[in-house]
Amino acid sequence: MILAIDVGNTNITIGVFQEEELKGVFRMTSSLVRTSDEYGIYLCSLLEHRGTDPGCIENVVISSVVPDVMYSLNSAVIKYFKVRPITVGPGIRTGIKLVTGNPKEIGADRIVDAVAAYSLYGGPVLVVDFGTATTYDLILADGSFAAGITSPGIRISAKALWEDTAKLPKIEIRKPRSILAKDTITSMQAGLVYGYIGQTEYIIQKVKEESGIKDLRVVATGGLGKIIADETDSIQVYDNMLTLKGLRLIYEKNR
């Protein structure tokens, strides 16, 4: 079995694969500082809770955008699973050509998403990840990572709204029944969700215009992505497990 670990700015997402089948998904916060033993015990406990023997984990693959956790996490994998993990970074085979100005600046999560979208849905493809930040990455038909756009994530925008204003409350992020809001909470929800739908559609449109790729497939992922993907025809595919699938594919290319 393969353990795929995606370390994001908000959460650590863990997937367990039996060959190509995703058997289980777990999440833990990435904002807490943990020792290698704490990571090891957490991971083993999560696996056991879902009926998976930690001793069945034969390989581990990790992508991370949070460097501070990597020493403890790598040590935990080696100590508790007796394997040396594959870490997404320079020298790793991905099948994606990085043709941007400084390839080292491209986050591991974006590379993993690009691998998954290109391998599973073909190219050219625009990958939209609604994470802590929202990213739009253009992968051409030959597998070249051609361009990327980064904007504040919808949760960051919401947090700024209620933390930087004296009277606006913390709210649930969801689409209200109508954009014609009648109270403070639904007016905030309308501005956040409809505003983000508008941003998403405009960026996709501009990418198509400037790239000249009119038949560009758009694949979305990320926790809050479904709220947006369900409300626009600009997104053809929503795949919440895209990053974990990409990690498995990278493992296959590097084992």
Catalytic residues: 109
**SS3 of residue 190 by DSSP:** helix
Q: How far apart are CA 193 and CA 158, in angstroms?
A: 10
- Positive or negative torsion for Cα 249, 252, 253, 255: positive
User: If you count DSSP H runs as helices and E runs as strands, how many of each does the chain have, helices first?
Assistant: 7, 11
Pull the structure tokens for residue 48: 């056991």
Q: Which of 61, 52, 122 shows the shortest CA–CA distance to 89?
A: 61
Q: How far apart are CA 42 and CA 36, in angstroms?
A: 10
**SS3 of residue 219 by DSSP:** strand
Q: How far apart are CA 175 and CA 207, in angstroms?
A: 26
CA dihedral 35, 41, 44, 48 (to 10 degrees): -150
Strand blocks (E) in 102-152: 125-130, 133-139, 144-152
Q: How far is CA 196 from CA 13, 37, 165, 170, in A?
A: 24, 40, 20, 18
Pull the structure tokens for residue 193: 């969700």
Q: Is 216 left (phi over 0), alpha (psi -120 to 50) or beta?
A: beta
